[in-house]
A and B are shown apart, each in its own frame.
Chain A
């Protein structure tokens, strides 16, 4: 099981949260926390802290996220949480 941070950036529109949530569900990835904000430059941003399961195929998940990125013209980043903890927590 891995703790991941999924960050979504792009133009706001209906159904974004559902698209990402459905994808997470498909790969049995649990959402621990979720926040969303519109940044100063009018960019929609959503950050999800998620946890994969033992049967999660992370490689396939990353590929599907890439497909969603292209189809919906979003920037989506899937990164292990430790990176952020190392940069922002002493």
Chain B
């Protein structure tokens, strides 16, 4: 028999500490949708997503109710569209994003990912068409997310792509200026992108995956914070790490179990569980608060990078044994506008872009959901991306940039994106010119440690 207190602990995690399954994401291979005619391909994309995706929301809700576990987001990721559209007779890929959007609405999901290209070792003509289509494709749709992988430890960094994408980020924001540039929040630039990430905006279904898989991302910053808050102030750092490991094990087991149940009910292969701490703007669901529980007065203080590195490591160590298959991004997320503690720290001037960049060297992903001044030049955005990609390439980890240059707003202004995207205070970006570097373009060579054979 399970212990009384074990059951009460679980109930409290689920009901007062915001433990939930953050997302179940259905990965769908679209390669069999390819046709020379763009309209035929788009129709097949729509039909396949609807055919496989229709049971997703209902099934996830039913299983969530049976187990008393909230499954917050139900989403779909598809094969990168630059691959699917390569043989089509069009250069404007908006038609494919519209097919994805229509399918997402039909099956009742809020986001669909995979309007993506992988250009870390160079462009195909289709990759260029996709990048050129991004502003129109994402601003003319509601639910489609896009991503471009511009670098990897194995191949180096495509600086020409970064040069293009600085302008893309600006264009996305400008085309959605009536909504404070929200289209830029649906686009992410990656280094070392992973093919099985269940989280938006960067989810896509890599070609190495099976036809249809279900992957899971769990949450649980509130649970970790609660566990740490029970430790005495004089507890050693080893005790802090052990506490995180133990609680991460339980969180991950829950996510792994629920994910497998959903996959079984849908009759699809279970993909991976992403061992992530994903915050929301809700009070008590903040990664920043967990870092502060280590003993910091505010996230951004000296010691933040140290605490984040230990948090990230302990979450992985605790989660690894709890999961059947681990993948995705796996680590603590620090999306600024989506985390109540990060929102506060940037507003109060305790958390700067430079500190956030340092933090991305030791945690999952990168500069995420950061509002910057609308008049930031495309070259400076490219420089920001290049720095972040270098951190990923050299440290053999995934890094990403999702920044929103908010049109007609400047440092200190507040922007509200709403829902899970939260709100942010616009923070300053170093305005020194880097255009000569960015305009060089070309392919940055892979680092020495890419040569492992």
Contact = CB atoms under 8 A, between A and B. Distances in A.
B250 A47 contact: no
B7 A84 contact: yes
A36 B5 CA distance: 10
A59 B7 CA distance: 22
Contacts of A75: 15
B161 to A, nearest CB: 43
B14 to A, nearest CB: 8
A60 B258 CA distance: 23
23 contacts: A7-B7, A9-B8, A37-B4, A37-B5, A45-B4, A47-B4, A77-B15, A78-B68, A79-B66, A80-B66, A80-B67, A83-B67, A83-B68, A83-B69, A83-B254, A83-B258, A86-B253, A86-B256, A87-B10, A87-B254, A87-B257, A88-B3, A88-B6
B134 to A, nearest CB: 41
A11 interface: no
Given A82-B67, A87-B254, 12 more contacts: A7-B7, A7-B8, A36-B4, A37-B4, A45-B4, A81-B2, A83-B254, A83-B257, A84-B10, A87-B10, A87-B257, A88-B6
B174 to A, nearest CB: 47
Contacts of B2: 5, 49, 81, 84-85, 88-89
Interface residues of A, number: 26
A10 B411 CA distance: 48
A18 interface: no
B257 A9 contact: no
A35 interface: yes
B8 A79 contact: no
Nearest to B14: A77
Given A37-B4, A83-B67, A7 B254 contact: no
A78 B1 CA distance: 17
A6 B6 CA distance: 13
B87 interface: no
Interface of B: 1-8, 10-11, 15, 65-69, 250, 253-254, 256-258
Nearest to A62: B65
Q: Is the interface of B mostly helix, strand, loop or mixed?
A: helix
A78 B250 CA distance: 20
Contact of A33 (B1, B5, B65, B67): B1
Nearest to B254: A87
A39 interface: yes
Interface in A37-90: 37, 39, 45, 47, 49, 62, 75, 77-89
B68 A77 contact: yes
A75 B6 CA distance: 17
Contacts, number: 62
A39 B65 CA distance: 26
Task: Name the residue among B1, B7, B8 with the largest chain A CB count within 10 angstroms.
Answer: B7
Contacts of B67: 79-80, 82-83
Contact of B7 (A5, A78, A86): A5
A7 B4 CA distance: 9
A47 B15 contact: no
A45 B8 contact: yes
A86 B11 contact: no
Contacts of A86: 253-254, 256-257
A37 to B, nearest CB: 6
The 3 closest A-B pairs by CB, nearest first: A86-B257, A79-B68, A35-B4
Given A33-B1, A49-B1, A79-B67, A9 B11 contact: yes
A80 to B, nearest CB: 5
A90 B378 CA distance: 52
A32 B6 CA distance: 17
A59 B3 CA distance: 27
Nearest to B321: A90
Nearest to A4: B66
Contacts of B11: 7, 9, 77
